């Protein structure tokens, strides 16, 4: 569902409960540097490099120019980071050094450009939100005396248009959302569910999934709990046992007491 969203597990900073969805590596880099005020030294580069590789993967056909560029950015980042980590040594080639500075400036310029358009996009969002509140009249002539006048109204309509129109006409109409979040706050993040489980499971020791979710009303909450359990399983702190298909799932805590929720790495679950 969520193509191209970079993994948002980010090290070098406290993980966030409301994990932002990144639209590509630049986005992630901008976010890390600007909002977290960290420098490259603190950033887990593999995330960003992974994100670049994921972008390369996404390309329908490998576009050499773009691909090279993406690789170049990733390489520059690695190089910058390596330079930050290694003790200064005098044998650095001056040309290499200058080249790196150049690459860095280029990268800086591009981040600035990217940021510029990000902010410009906010204006587009505002404009379209405003425009959406003014509905155009698209009724056309309604009087009988004009209806017959116009040349063939189907001239520019294809069978495909008709199919699309049918689909639109029969698509379920979404209901107006009633925001009741202020009445019943529902915990929907996997991170929070993990936190609860890590808090509760060591005390209880063993629990069935049914017991775990018996008080939950919302299906989404059940799903979130389930993801949290899977997460704990992946981390090796619980064991799962299911006697058969659709059987009761038993969750057994096998981690030691020192396990803390924050140490459980959460992959992002979208949607």
Partner 1 sequence: MTADHIPPAVEAILLVAEDPLPPELLAQLVGASTDEVVEVCETLAREYEVDGRGFILAKVAGGYRYQTATEQAPYVERYVLDGQSSRLSAAALETLAVVAYKQPVSRNQIASIRGVNVDGVMRTLQQRGYVDEVARDPGPGQAVLYGTTPSFLERMGLDSVSDLPPLGEFFPGSDVVEALERGLRVVPDDEVIAEAGSDAEADSDAEADTSAEAETDAEVDGS
Quick check: 100 binds partner 1 (CB under 8 A)?
yes
Question: Locate tokens 């670049």: which residue?
Answer: 52
Q: Which stretch binds partner 1 (CB under 8 A): 147-155, 209-217, 232-240, 246-254?
A: 147-155
Q: 């029969």: which residue's tokens?
A: 170
Of the listed pieces 44-52, 199-207, 233-241, 247-255, which binds partner 1 according to CB under 8 A? 44-52
Q: Which of 199, 200, 211, 262 binds partner 1 (CB under 8 A)?
A: 262
> Quick check: helix, strand or coil at residue 74?
helix
C-alpha distances in angstroms, 57 versus 118, 173, 202, 226, 267? 24, 36, 41, 30, 20
**123 is an interface residue for partner 1 by CB under 8 A:** yes
Among 91, 94, 159, 246, binds partner 1 (CB under 8 A): 159
Q: Does 40 bind partner 1 (CB under 8 A)?
A: yes
Which member of 75, 96, 99, 124 binds partner 1 (CB under 8 A)? Answer: 124
Selection from 7, 83, 81 nearest residue 43 by Cα: 81
Contact status: 271 vs partner 1 (CB under 8 A): yes
Which residue in the block uniquely carries the two structure tokens 């150049």?
102
Does the protein bind partner 1 through residue 256 (CB under 8 A)?
A: no
User: Could you say whether residue 203 binds partner 1 (CB under 8 A)?
Assistant: no
Could you say which of 89, 91, 142, 245 contacts partner 1 (CB under 8 A)? 142
Q: Which of 89, 91, 156, 257 binds partner 1 (CB under 8 A)?
A: 156
150 binds partner 1 (CB under 8 A): yes
As to burial, measured by CB atoms within 10 angstroms (0-12 exposed, 13-18 middle, 19+ buried), residue 10 is buried
Cβ-based burial of 221 (10 A; exposed 0-12, middle 13-18, buried ≥19): middle
Q: Which residues fall within 8 angstroms of residue 156, CB to CB, at 6 or more apart? A: none
Of 186, 204, 240, 252, the one binding partner 1 (CB under 8 A) is 186
Stretch that binds partner 1, among 180-188, 204-212, 227-235, 246-254 (CB under 8 A): 180-188
Least CB distance to partner 1 at residue 256 (A)? 16
Picking from 87, 116, 82, the residue whose alpha carbon sits closest to that of residue 100 is 82
Token pair, residue 58, equals 């996404």
Q: CB-wise, 123 or 214, nearer to partner 1?
A: 123
Q: For residue 137, state whether it binds partner 1 (rule: CB under 8 A).
A: yes
Of 34, 15, 12, 60, residue with least CA distance to 267:
15
Give the whole-angstrom CA distance, residue 7 versus residue 54: 10
31 belongs to the binding site for partner 1 (CB under 8 A): no
174 binds partner 1 (CB under 8 A): yes
Number of other residues whose CB lies within 10 A of the CB of residue 54: 16
From the list 53-61, 201-209, 232-240, 246-254, the region that binds partner 1 by CB under 8 A is 53-61
Exposed e or buried b per residue across 158-188, where buried means at least 16 C-beta atoms within 10 angstroms of its C-beta: eeeeeeeeeeeeeeeeeeeeeeeeeeeeebe
Of positions 7, 53, 104, 192, contacts partner 1 by CB under 8 A: 104
């Amino acid at each position: 569902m969520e193509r191209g969203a970079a993994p948002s597990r980010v090290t070098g900073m406290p993980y966030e409960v409301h994990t932002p969805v990144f639209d590509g590596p630049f986005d992630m880099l901008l976010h890390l540097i600007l909002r977290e005020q960290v420098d490259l030294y603190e950033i887990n580069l593999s995330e960003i490099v992974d994100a670049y590789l994921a972008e390369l993967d996404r390309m329908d056909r490998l576009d050499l120019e773009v691909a090279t560029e993406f690789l170049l950015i990733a390489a520059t980042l690695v190089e910058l980071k390596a330079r930050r980590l290694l003790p200064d040594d005098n044998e650095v080639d001056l040309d290499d050094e200058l080249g790196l500075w150049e690459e860095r400036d280029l990268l800086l310029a591009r981040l600035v450009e990217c940021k510029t358009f990000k902010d410009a996009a906010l204006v587009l969002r505002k404009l379209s939100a405003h425009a959406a509140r003014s509905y155009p009249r698209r009724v056309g002539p309604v009087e009988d005396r004009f209806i017959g006048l116009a040349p063939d109204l189907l001239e520019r309509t294809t069978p495909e248009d008709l199919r699309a129109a049918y689909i639109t006409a029969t698509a379920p109409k979404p209901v107006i959302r009633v925001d009741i979040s202020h009445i019943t706050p529902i915990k929907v993040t996997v991170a929070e569910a993990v936190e609860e489980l890590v808090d509760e499971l060591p005390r209880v020791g063993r629990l069935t999934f049914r017991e775990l979710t018996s008080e939950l009303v919302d299906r989404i909450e059940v799903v979130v709990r389930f993801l949290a359990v899977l997460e704990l399983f992946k981390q090796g702190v619980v064991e799962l046992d299911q006697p058969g298909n659709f059987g009761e799932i038993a969750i057994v805590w096998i981690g030691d007491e020192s396990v803390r929720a924050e140490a459980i790495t959460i992959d992002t679950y979208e949607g």
